[in-house]
Structure 1
């Protein structure tokens, strides 16, 4: 994920960062913690580490709710712009895999 000017409250931990791939865990300690606004510069896969919901703020001012299933990945292409928030009353996390090449 590329970060914008204002950082979010979610905690990123980078596990792998090489010329081909970046793997980051994003941990949201409480409801409302967020990644901060960002635009993805690379295609990526997200693997949720919980069952629950993420709330997604979009540039047009709307907020969507996305259901997550533990271990069930999803793919997104370059250019996605959003802020991701914990929509649960518990700590949650996901692993993000970015394809740098």
Structure 2
């Protein structure tokens, strides 16, 4: 898969806000979250989360419905659909 497009919107002493745009058939690539974070979908769609143990979960991203995760999450986020999906990721600095 090609790489999804990250764009840093804010990076200050409090947080890092990244806009992730997933064109069809793109992915973040493997990564581990070093901070707690909140995800706010801006364009609804379906993403596949591939976990470090190889398990996969299809997640319906609904614009305006946020969720939060703790530090240490390791995964690859993939858009296997034919639609654009987008979210804002807010990493909380401590």
**Contact preservation (8 Å) 2:23, 2:85:** yes
Mapped partners of 1:61, 1:35: distance in 2: 16
**Which of 36, 39, 50 is the equivalent residue of 1:46?**
39
Q: Which residue of 2 aligns with 1:14?
A: 8
Mapped partners of 1:52, 1:17: distance in 2: 26
Q: Which residue of 2 aligns with 1:82?
A: 75
Q: RMSD of the TM alignment (CA)?
A: 1.1
* Structure with the bigger percentage of strand: 2
Mapped partners of 2:14, 2:79: distance in 1: 29
With normalisation by structure 1, the TM-score equals: 0.87
Aligned with 1:49: secondary structure? strand
Mapped partners of 1:64, 1:54: distance in 2: 8
Mapped partners of 1:19, 1:64: distance in 2: 33
In the TM superposition, structure 1's runs of 4+ consecutive aligned residues that sit over 3 Å from their partners are none
The unaligned stretches of length 5 or more in structure 1 are: 1-7
